[in-house]
Structure 1
Amino acid sequence: MIDVVLKKGKEKAVLHRHPWVFSGAIEPVKGKPANGEIIRLLNAKKEFLAYGFYNDQSRVAVRLLEWDENTPVDDNWFRDKVRTAVAGRAHILADGRTDTCRLIFSESDYLPGLIVDKYAGHLAVQVLTSGMQAAMPVIIDELNTLLKSESIFDKSDATSRAHEGLETTNVLLAGNQPPELVMVKENGIAYGINIAEGQKSGFYCDQRENRLTLANYARGKKVLDCFSYTGGFTLNSLQNGAVQVTSVDSSALALETLQENIRLNGFEDTKHDAIKSDVNVQLRKFRDEGEKFDIIVLDPPKYAPSRSALDRASRAYKDLNRLGMQLLNSGGLLATFSCSGAMDMETFKQVLAWAALDAGKQVQFVHQFHQPEDHPVRASFPEGEYLKGLLCRVW
């Protein structure tokens, strides 16, 4: 096993169990470890610190796995981590009202670069690091042993794979090709999930608890669900008695699936409109038409993929939320989210304060939204906390 040596004074984060070591923190490597190979990380005194995946193409040159020198990172190590992660989600699926959740969440489950989502009897995986790519045969075998899934589908199409020297993939890894729409349940609501062609791994199960929370306010209300995708907030609002819901998304495929989900749940007789449009364009159109709503959901894609993009992203979040605030009836509710890890909650609150000032509105923060427990945040890896949101009362 090849040794990688840290520069003097660069071991603090490693000792605190942070799993990333950046390329600038290491000495020139003696030998040539393959990308994805497991190496020994040493301090400047050549003392053992941890085992980790190495990749000389990535800014994160080493992704740490194990800090006990006497615990080898072998097939049994990976199997144990998979078993632990899967067992920790069993209670989420126990009551039968939900059969979809995230089973493995990358660094937060001690498997950097691996995401596994369960959709009823099917699994969708995303492999984002070269080290995890090399470990996939044993991981797939363990997942099959534990879950006896009908299929395991590889949705590793994230652009971040390019930083690891990996090509994107979208292929069946095990079992039978999943149907065009996999039927799942979340909070007792039925969804059709397009694993092969849907965004990310096919569905956003990180909003499960937040959809349920917001739905408690929906009875008798007129709701606007922006960036609706396949209708998570839409369906929960209809289920809980919203008098009208309008869903806006730029994806025709997502809206087709949403309409199928409306039918699946018997909501054909409810007042629902689906609009294919850029959300910012549509919000301005609603404003110009004098349209008003009681509840507005703003759940945009990641505006700040890195800290360097935060200023630009903050302006985009401010403009989006300003438009939303202008469309609310007095005392209405704005449920607004950011899935940008670089955007912390305090900055997000400040952005909303600026948006309120520009919109000429008063805003109260009445609830904070978070990612659910199947997306845990590891104490030594705060970067795992990416989803945050606020429920705002707007006057």
Structure 2
Amino acid sequence: MKKIILNKGKDKAAWQLHPWVFSGAIKSTVDHPKNGDIVAVFNNEDEFIAYGMYNAKSRVAVRLLEWDPSKEINEQWWRARVAKAVNKRLALLNEENDTLRLIFAEADFLPGLIADKYADYISIQVHAAGTESVKDIIVDELVQLLHPKGIYERSDLKSREYEGLPDSNGKRYGEVPPEFVEIVENGIHYQVNIVEGQKSGFYCDQRENRAITARYAKDKKVLDCFCYSGGFTLNAFRQGAQSVTSVDSSALAIETLKSNVQKNGFAADKHSAVQSDVNKYLRELGEQGEKFDLIVLDPPKYAPSRSTLEKASRAYKDLNRRGLLLLNSGGILATFSCSGAMDIETFKQVIAWAALDAGKEIQYIYQFCQPEDHPVRASFPEGEYLKGLLVRVV
């Protein structure tokens, strides 16, 4: 097998089961490995560490797969890994939830692979050259395990460019999903656009957080910012919200949200759907003297890397300051960050600064995290990206 030799002192993370070997850690290669090849990784003393997928074009030059030297990375290895990831999630499926993440990349020892189940369809994303080479095997194993109506690929990620891969979108098995696939989450029905929607179609990582936040919505005036297809909005209505205003910059998101409100039989006269830049809309609400009892702030990723964290912190602070200014005394703010570069302690400090600038005294009453189908592997803390806080204005 083709080999990778690491520089002296650059093998510690790999021994500790971290799945990434950066290009700067590599001393030499043996037998000219090509991008996507399976390689054996050794330390400077020629001791075997692990098998992995090589890619000279990527900053992450090797994505480690297996630390047992007796194992062979073949078709059966890939099938077994896919089956293990899927089978441990099946207990999460029931009549109230038919949508979840089946495979979460490095967290499931399957680097470069995301798979989400939306009712009878599966959406996959592949963002590593080595995983791309076994995509057909992965698709076939998912078919054998779950018998979906169709599997659709949405591999149009920036990370593929770094791997030297072109975008790859389209049907990989069975039927092309219809324009809207109906799913159920927390007993609520949604229409999901797998083919053209954001990411792989729906943000199932907020499933539990939506239900927790909705506990505070009964008889309350709610503002749901960055609402997308309405997860927090619909959960709030299900728990008896007095009214909900939902805001998103996407016209498709707003139209989908309106359809979801109607599909679930919630009163349209209690709902206001606004297509607008959220920060601009929050300023306008402040100028109008509007107040709310519960506000949800679930923005896109402001800090894609540590180099952008300082700028992102200012953006998070300003956004949350505007939100806090709109809350009644005793009001609740559910605020989130999906930036992996921002840890929860930093996020708490940012919210504290926002409260100080808003002249509000606050309490942290709950800390949100990722659900069970988005696990965080102990040896790969980078997989922990979603965090949030439930904040009460005193």
The answer, yes or no, to whether TM exceeds 0.5 is yes
Give the 3-state SS of the residue equivalent to 2:28 in structure 1. coil
**Corresponding residue for 1:220?**
219
**Corresponding residue for 1:53?**
53
* 1:310-338 per-position Cα deviation (integer Å, ceiling 9, x unaligned): 00110000000000000000110000000
**Corresponding residue for 2:63?**
63
**Corresponding residue for 2:283?**
284
Give the 3-state SS of the residue equivalent to 2:30 in structure 1. coil
**Corresponding residue for 1:189?**
188
**Corresponding residue for 1:75?**
75
Query: 1:167, 1:291 → 2: CA distance?
Result: 47
Of 23-32 and 187-196, deviating more is 23-32
Query: 1:85, 1:4 → 2: CA distance?
Result: 28
Give the 3-state SS of the residue equivalent to 1:29 in structure 2. strand
- Pair 1:302-2:301 in alignment: yes
Q: Is the 8 A contact 2:149 2:174 kept in 1?
A: yes
**Corresponding residue for 1:389?**
388
Q: Is the 8 A contact 1:243 1:270 kept in 2?
A: no
**Corresponding residue for 1:159?**
158
Query: 2:332, 2:157 → 1: CA distance?
Result: 34
**Please, which runs of 5 or more residues in structure 1 have no aligned partner?**
none
* 1:38-73 per-position Cα deviation (integer Å, ceiling 9, x unaligned): 000000011111000000011000000000000111
Give the 3-state SS of the residue equivalent to 1:371 in structure 2. coil
**Corresponding residue for 1:245?**
244
Percent identity of equivalent pairs: 61
Give the 3-state SS of the residue equivalent to 1:322 in structure 2. helix
**Corresponding residue for 1:316?**
315
Give the 3-state SS of the residue equivalent to 2:283 in structure 1. helix
Query: 2:184, 2:81 → 1: CA distance?
Result: 26
Q: Is the 8 A contact 1:238 1:270 kept in 2?
A: no
- Structure 1 residue 270: Cα displacement: 4.9
Q: Which amino acid aligns with 1:229?
A: Y
Of 22-31 and 210-219, deviating more is 22-31
Give the 3-state SS of the residue equivalent to 1:115 in structure 2. strand
**Corresponding residue for 1:10?**
10
Query: 1:394, 1:239 → 2: CA distance?
Result: 24
Give the 3-state SS of the residue equivalent to 1:27 in structure 2. strand
* 1:148-205 per-position Cα deviation (integer Å, ceiling 9, x unaligned): 1111000111111111111122211111111100000001000000000000000000
TM-score using structure 1 length? 0.99
Paired residues in the alignment total 394
Query: 2:127, 2:314 → 1: CA distance?
Result: 29
- Structure 1 residue 268: Cα displacement: 3.5
Runs of 4 or more off by more than 6 Å in structure 1? none
Query: 2:287, 2:158 → 1: CA distance?
Result: 37
Query: 1:63, 1:18 → 2: CA distance?
Result: 9
Query: 1:160, 1:290 → 2: CA distance?
Result: 43
Query: 1:303, 1:168 → 2: CA distance?
Result: 24
Q: Which amino acid aligns with 2:57?
A: Q
Give the 3-state SS of the residue equivalent to 1:224 in structure 2. strand
